[in-house]
Chains A and B, each alone.
Chain A
């Protein structure tokens, strides 16, 4: 599976935007970019996914570089509840529903 690279940790202040980067230089043309997050003592939860175009939903926005070698998850106004580990995952067509999790980015939100 193609590999992703994320910073180990990031900090933000409450009510400020947060940009979480992810590099995936070996991505192939049919790989979807997914983001999941894991809040403390909970199972991972889906955040957003995209293929080529930028995507928005009620939780976040996903900005995908034109060459698709990187992407950025954007939380428009961070809250204390957004403190979690964020995982950037490439969903490979041939591996179907298996999610290959890396170490993710631990986001700390300061009040």
Chain B
């Protein structure tokens, strides 16, 4: 089954403790991205990647890192999480970056930073 998977689905952590949220897709998609969703602010893009070893900032990249060493994986790294990064995170992928390409979203990771 074609899908985007994220792990963990739920995470509670403390300020400053490094964490990684994994994202994997099995559709051989070139384009992957991360969004965060907050009440009243909608979904906002954090980082995106157009292919292996090609990443770029989205609208809200501060406090986050990403890497794309393999085509299928696109982990989101929080080196020193802070409470304002408490949010619902979604990974997404699409075949390419054309404006007609459908984006497929993962199930989400709910992160709480205390």
Contact of B100 among A43, A45, A91, A99 (CB under 8 A): A91
Chain A binder among B61-69, B74-82, B90-98 = B90-98
Q: Find chain B residues with CB under 8 A from A49 CB.
A: 100, 102
- Count residues on chain A whose CB falls below 8 Å from chain B CBs: 23
- Count residues on chain B whose CB falls below 8 Å from chain A CBs: 28
Interface contact B97-A96, CB-CB below 8 Å: yes
Known: A46-B102, A91-B100, A103-B42. A97 touches B107 (CB 8 A): no
Q: How far is the CB of B53 from chain A (nearest CB, A)?
A: 18
Q: Find chain B residues with CB under 8 A from A95 CB.
A: 99
Contact of B98 among A36, A42, A97, A103 (CB under 8 A): A97
Query: What are 16 A-B contacts with C-beta separation under 8 Å?
Result: A30-B99, A43-B90, A43-B92, A43-B108, A45-B104, A46-B103, A46-B104, A96-B31, A96-B99, A98-B45, A98-B58, A98-B59, A99-B43, A99-B92, A101-B42, A104-B42
